[in-house]
């Protein structure tokens, strides 16, 4: 399982003039916070990565001060500092001792809002697999020529080509880095052409919001629109009886049985650009049947199983409380326990959720009551294939 994300943050940003003289381009404020904060948050919400490695160059001390030793979710942040400019490929060579055998690589000055786990799940085991942005208009960007998923050529900007563009997101095999022998070196100019010649560069085209802050006009546009573009509707899934069969106080991975199409349903939500959340009552904790650590471990296992097909849950929320509990600290009434809406409202305070297009999918009246109390649509799942059920409801919102 791929567990490392690497972000290139070392460029000089010369096209932005004075704004990047004292600040690394990815740390420019965009939408109310450093652009790099947004990139890190977007990576961390997948809850897959144990480590986010920042490759710093220009004004690296600012990157180190803000991020070195910090964490986002389960991911710790490490900074690799170049002593001299080595290019995008050279930054990887310099950080080679820190790189995993396979890693996700992102440009620090662009954001592409698509399902990262789909790219990871379908990436070839060797070489580099690129995420490409389909449907980009204009001549600012070069174009990529594909044959199936094999990259055959690159077309320079301004040449009139209309194919997808390189979105600056890659799954990389470390062996590619080992093959870089001349420095400084650029991934795009030096490494990728040689991979094309070896049929070792692949690509998959996606749609989704894409912004590159490399020129003043796009930096200003990102500052105006980024926060709203990352505001998404959400699907709040109940767990037992919706994602997995309700066998009564489930807490062991080897006894969990997925509902047909459950993981695929979550992926459909991810691919549609929605947040995917789990909201589950877990009164078995209050009753002493198992502990919170067991629920957390089960959710980690579920997340790993979803990741195998390119699906993810943005946050697992559970309520351990019950007024009839036998464990004193959990024996209480909680506004997080459904039918109360607390788990939903707590998520909305942490994530930029568009509630007008959100929904709860549950199998009990309490789920529907929680949805109503939170002001979102409730859909009662009564069995069958969850993917088909979810796709029908996503289609009704125009997002499928």
Residues β-bridged to residue 151? 146
Q: What are the phi and psi torsion angles at 362 (to 5°)? A: -140, 175
As a whole number of angstroms, the distance between CA 10 and CA 85 comes to 8
What's the Cα-to-Cα distance from 335 to each of 236, 267, 290, 317, 326, rounded to whole Å?
17, 29, 22, 13, 19
Q: Tally the C-alpha atoms within 13 A of residue 146's C-alpha that lie toward its C-beta.
A: 17
As a whole number of angstroms, the distance between CA 393 and CA 331 comes to 37
As a whole number of angstroms, the distance between CA 12 and CA 15 comes to 9
Residue 149 a catalytic site member: no
As a whole number of angstroms, the distance between CA 114 and CA 389 comes to 22
DSSP code string of 52-102: EEEEE-TTHHHHHHHHTT-EETTEEEEEEE-SS--HHHHHHHHTGGG--SE
As a whole number of angstroms, the distance between CA 299 and CA 259 comes to 15
List the catalytic residue out of 37, 238, 271, 321: 238
Closest CA to 289 of 323, 243, 326: 326
Residue 304 a catalytic site member: no
As a whole number of angstroms, the distance between CA 377 and CA 263 comes to 22
As a whole number of angstroms, the distance between CA 342 and CA 236 comes to 12
List the catalytic residue out of 47, 240, 271, 367: 240
Task: Judge contact between 201 and 123, C-beta under 8 A.
Answer: no
As a whole number of angstroms, the distance between CA 193 and CA 383 comes to 51
Taking the alpha carbons of 173, 175, 179, 184 in that order, is the dihedral positive or negative? positive
Q: 35-44 and 60-67 helices cross at what angle (nearest 10)?
A: 50
Supply the residues annotated as catalytic.
238, 240
């Amino acid at each position: 399982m791929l567990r490392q994300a690497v972000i290139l943050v070392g460029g000089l940003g010369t096209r932005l003039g004075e704004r990047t003289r004292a600040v690394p381009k990815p740390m420019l404020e965009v939408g109310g916070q450093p652009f790099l904060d947004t990139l890190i948050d977007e990576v961390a919400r997948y809850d897959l990565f144990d480590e986010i490695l920042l490759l710093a160059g220009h004004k690296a001390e600012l990157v180190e001060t803000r991020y070195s030793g910090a964490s986002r979710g389960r991911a710790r942040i490490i900074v690799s500092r170049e002593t001299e400019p080595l290019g995008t490929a050279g930054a990887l060579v310099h950080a080679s001792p820190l790189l995993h055998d396979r890693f996700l690589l992102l440009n620090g000055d662009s954001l592409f809002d698509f399902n990262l786990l789909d790219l990871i799940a379908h990436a070839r085991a060797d070489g580099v697999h690129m995420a490409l942005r389909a449907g980009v208009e204009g001549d600012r960007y070069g174009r990529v020529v594909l044959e199936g998923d094999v990259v055959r050529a690159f077309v320079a900007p301004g040449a009139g080509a209309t194919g997808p563009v390189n979105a600056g997101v890659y799954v990389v095999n470390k062996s590619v880095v080992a093959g870089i022998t001349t420095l400084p070196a650029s991934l795009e100019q030096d490494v990728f052409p040689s991979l094309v010649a070896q049929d070792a560069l692949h690509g998959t085209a996606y749609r989704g919001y894409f912004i590159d802050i490399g020129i003043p006009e796009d930096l200003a546009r990102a500052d105006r629109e980024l926060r709203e573009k990352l505001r998404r509707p959400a699907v709040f899934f109940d767990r037992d009886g919706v994602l997995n069969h309700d066998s009564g106080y489930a807490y062991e991975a080897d006894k969990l049985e997925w509902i047909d199409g459950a993981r695929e349903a979550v992926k459909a939500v991810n691919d549609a650009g929605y947040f995917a959340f789990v909201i589950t009552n877990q009164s078995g904790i209050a009753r002493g049947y198992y502990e919170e650590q067991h629920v957390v471990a089960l959710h980690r296992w579920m997340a790993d199983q979803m990741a195998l097909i390119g699906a993810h849950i943005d946050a697992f929320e559970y309520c351990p409380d019950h007024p009839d509990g036998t464990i004193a600290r959990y024996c209480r009434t909680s506004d997080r326990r459904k039918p109360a809406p607390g788990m939903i409202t707590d998520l909305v305070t942490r994530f930029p959720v568009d509630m007008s297009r959100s929904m709860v999918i549950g199998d009990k009246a309490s789920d529907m009551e929680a949805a109503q109390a939170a002001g979102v649509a409730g859909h009662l799942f009564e069995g069958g294939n969850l993917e088909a059920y979810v796709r029908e409801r996503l289609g009704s919102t125009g997002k499928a």
